[in-house]
Amino acid sequence: MSAIALGNAIVCTLMALRLFSFRRKGSCWRPRAALLAYLLIVAAASAPIRMLLGVGGEVTLSQLALNSVLCLALFAVEGNVTELFRRSGSDESAIARMLRWESWL
């Protein structure tokens, strides 16, 4: 087990835990956002599980870097996946509108 693989497993564990512990704080439930969060949790949690079972493939430094940036972004928005796609100002991105069930075309 390399240091990069261990670092990736730790980062992926942090991502999954941050997404799993998200609280809506009174906002409405958004099914598409919930599905995206679920898929991210499953994908992130698979990395440490594969590493523990010894079936994981080689982890590169670029994979660790991408996962680290995503992890930092998730912590910055407190695990709210819709906030990852929000633009500053009044205009929202198409992805944010889609996740909020608004018209996105």
Sign of the alpha-carbon torsion through 65, 71, 77, 82: positive
What is the pTM assigned to this prediction? Answer: 0.80
Q: Identify residue 93 by its one-letter amino acid code.
A: S
Q: Digits of tens for pLDDT over the chain (105 positions)?
A: 789 999 999 999 999 999 999 988 877 888 888 999 999 999 999 999 999 998 878 899 999 999 999 999 898 888 888 888 776 665 666 666 666 665 444
Per-residue buried b or exposed e for 29-57, using 16+ beta carbons within 10 Å of the residue's own CB: ebeebeebbeebbeebbebbebbeeeebe
pLDDT for position 90? 58
